[in-house]
Structure formats: structure tokens, C-alpha cells
Amino acid sequence: MNCAVITGAASGIGRACALRLAATGATVALLDRHGADGTRREIEDRGGKAVGFGVDVTDDDAVRDVVGRLPAPPRVLVNAAGIIVRKKLLECTVEEWRRVVDVNLTGYFVLLRNVIPAMSAAGGGSIVQIASIAGHTGYGFSSYTAAKGGVLALTRQLAAELAEHRIRINSVSPGVVESGLNRDTLGNQAIRQATVDNIPLGRLGEPDDIARVVAFLAGPEADFVTGADLVADGGMISTIHWGKAGAELHSFHSEER
């Protein structure tokens, strides 16, 4: 029996990843600062196996304790726990900056440092880190963007470092996905419409849009893929710099010049 460890599993993308990985037959370990009883019950109701842990991903001792109590050796890790503070650089306090980087980047490190030895001892595995299009673009808020850029760089760095442990590591960069993280912003109709207008596929992401990509990267279909980032954003970063000007440009045709 193998185990898939998922952080941020109480809500949104982490919850969707847990449901999807449990459906593949994995026993899932659900880590969340609030516990993840709701997700655990959903999985059990569908006949899957899950165990929940109330743990803050920035707490190294607590995470080490959880990894020591996993129901089976970890063969998959999904780092998804995250927070956002929507403030421009000059509005952001040092405490807010530290907390965002602490959860979104150092929290990933804490899981990596505790899970990798057990994964390696079990014969290897696959790690998927949830980054963001914010880490690729200027679409976001400084502390969050900096942390997500860090996740992208860390994932590339670790591809070579972890290969000798037979561990693959990749990231997924979601666009705008309906979840707890942006319930406030997407509850504002003007922001919601402007966001959808910027997505070529014409809709917001659902958590399961991301979970399907995570399941692909975590599974055997992707066994030659490591150090990659897969953008799942409905095409948003392909057009984001054009905005409405893009529509005008594309209606303009000219002969060869």
C-alpha cells in the first residue's frame, strides 16, 4: 500500500487533488491547518481511503511527526497549502511578507525535507508543487508573486537533485480558479467579469481542472517528465499583456509589409 500526501487538502485545489488521487486507489494523507475532516468523509463515502491531520505546514516538528505517522510509505506529495495577502509592495508589512513567503515557499520546503527521505527509502515517487501564473507574470501581488516564483525555481533546481532518489518533481501553474483563496475577489461581479474577459477559453478554472493535471504529473503517464511547469490557465498568460487591445489588434488585417 502506498500513500499520497496532500497539503491544503481541506479546500479548493488541494481538496480536488485528494479526491482525484484517492479515486486512483491511493491512500491519501490530508494535511491542513484546519484539519480536513470534510474531505476525508467525502473520500470515505466514495469508498476511498484517507487519513486527516491538522497541521500547519510551516511547523517543521509537527510535519515530521505527521510523516512518521503516515499509514503507508509516501510515493506522491502534492504541495498545495497556500495563502495570499493582496497588497502592493509598499502597503505590505514585513510580518505579512514573511507569513506569505513562510507558508507558500518555506512550507513547501518543510514538506519536501520531511517527505523526501521516506519517499526515497520507499523506492522513489513523484512530487507536484502548486505554483501560479503569478510566478510567471506581473499579475498578482508582490509577496505572493515572489513566493510562487520561488516555487518555480525550486522545482527546476530539485529535478536534478532528486533524480538519484528516483523522485520526479514538477509544478503546475494555475490561472484563476474558484476556491477559498479568491472567494472575496470573485464575489465582486466587476472583478469576476474582467477576469473571465481575460481568459481565452472564456471561463474561470475549477479546482478539478488543476487536479487532473496534478494526477497526470503524479502518475506513470508522466514518468519521463521532471523539472517541468505545466500552465493550466485557460490561455490567460498567452494574452494577458494585450487585454482589450488584443481584440482590436486581431480584427486588424493587413497585407505583407
Strands, E assignment, the chain: 3-7, 27-32, 49-54, 74-79, 125-130, 167-174, 229-232
Site for ligand NAD in 105-124 (CB under 6 A): 107
**Does the footprint of ligand NAD cover residue 86 (CB under 6 A)?**
no
Q: How far is the CB of 255 from ligand NAD (least distance, A)?
A: 42
Q: Can you spell out the DSSP letters for 182-224?
A: GHHHHTSHHHHHHHHHT-TTSSPBPHHHHHHHHHHHHSGGGTT
Q: Nine-digit cell at 21?
A: 488521487
Site for ligand NAD in 145-164 (CB under 6 A): none
Q: Distance between the two ends of the chain, CA-based, in angstroms?
A: 64
**Does the footprint of ligand NAD cover residue 13 (CB under 6 A)?**
yes
Q: How far is the CB of 133 from ligand NAD (least distance, A)?
A: 7
Out of 4, 5, 6, 10, name the contact with ligand NAD by CB under 6 A. Answer: 10
Distance CA 105, CA 8 (A): 13
Q: How far is the CB of 43 from ligand NAD (least distance, A)?
A: 15
Q: Which is nearer to ligand NAD, 170 or 182 (CB)?
A: 182
**Does the footprint of ligand NAD cover residue 20 (CB under 6 A)?**
no
Q: Nine-digit cell at 161?
A: 537533485
Q: Which residues contact 33 (CB under 8 A, 6 or more apart)?
A: 54, 55, 56, 57, 81
**Does the footprint of ligand NAD cover residue 130 (CB under 6 A)?**
yes
Q: Which is nearer to ligand NAD, 12 or 150 (CB)?
A: 12
Out of 182, 222, 231, 240, name the contact with ligand NAD by CB under 6 A. Answer: 182
**CA distances (Å), origin 157, targets 13, 102, 205:** 24, 19, 28
Out of 143, 179, 198, 226, name the contact with ligand NAD by CB under 6 A. Answer: 179
**Does the footprint of ligand NAD cover residue 28 (CB under 6 A)?**
no
Distance CA 147, CA 155 (A): 12
Active-site annotation holder among 5, 143, 144, 205: 144
Q: Active-site residue 108, yes or no? A: no
> Which residues are known catalytic residues?
144
